[in-house]
Amino acid sequence: MTENEISYIIRGCVFRVYNILGPGLLESAYEAALKYEIQKEGLKVKSQVSLPMVYEEISIDVGYRLDLLVEQKVILELKSVEIIAPVHHKQLLTYLRLSGLKLGLLINFNTDNISDNIFRKVNKLD
């Protein structure tokens, strides 16, 4: 399954979670519900996946965690904030670069319009 196919399924799961729970909850509530919905779709998903930082030739575990990792291909960075800041986009791009993965979704559940709060980020692997 490609990253795009996985992303399509994830978006459907995000809409289901949002329609049931609505805005205003903690990020951890959305994470648990979204993980459940993704698993119901038959995809493998892990939560709070450790992401070491590689600096020159050493790997350093500095406590970075991916909120959700789907099929070992797509990173989900979940938020429940008033406004998505530019640094949130950069955070996901950094996670993609550190992991070597191609696709990530930044999702803010604390909104009146979930469609406008799912941001697709692509790691340009060069």
Q: Which residue has the tokens 């992303």?
A: 7
pTM for the structure as a whole:
0.93
Interval 41-64: pLDDT, tens: 999 999 999 998 888 888 888 778
Mean pLDDT of 13-27: 97
Domain spans in the chain, listed from the N-terminal domain onward? 3-122
Residue 12 and residue 2: Cα distance in Å, rounded? 16
Q: What is the pLDDT of residue 126?
A: 57
| Residue 117 pLDDT level (bands cut at 50, 70, 90) | very high
Domain 3-122: which CATH number of 3.40.1350, 3.30.70, 1.10.3470, 3.40.1000: 3.40.1350
Residue 65 and residue 6: Cα distance in Å, rounded? 21
| Residue 120 pLDDT level (bands cut at 50, 70, 90) | very high
The H or E element spanning position 98 is helix 86-99
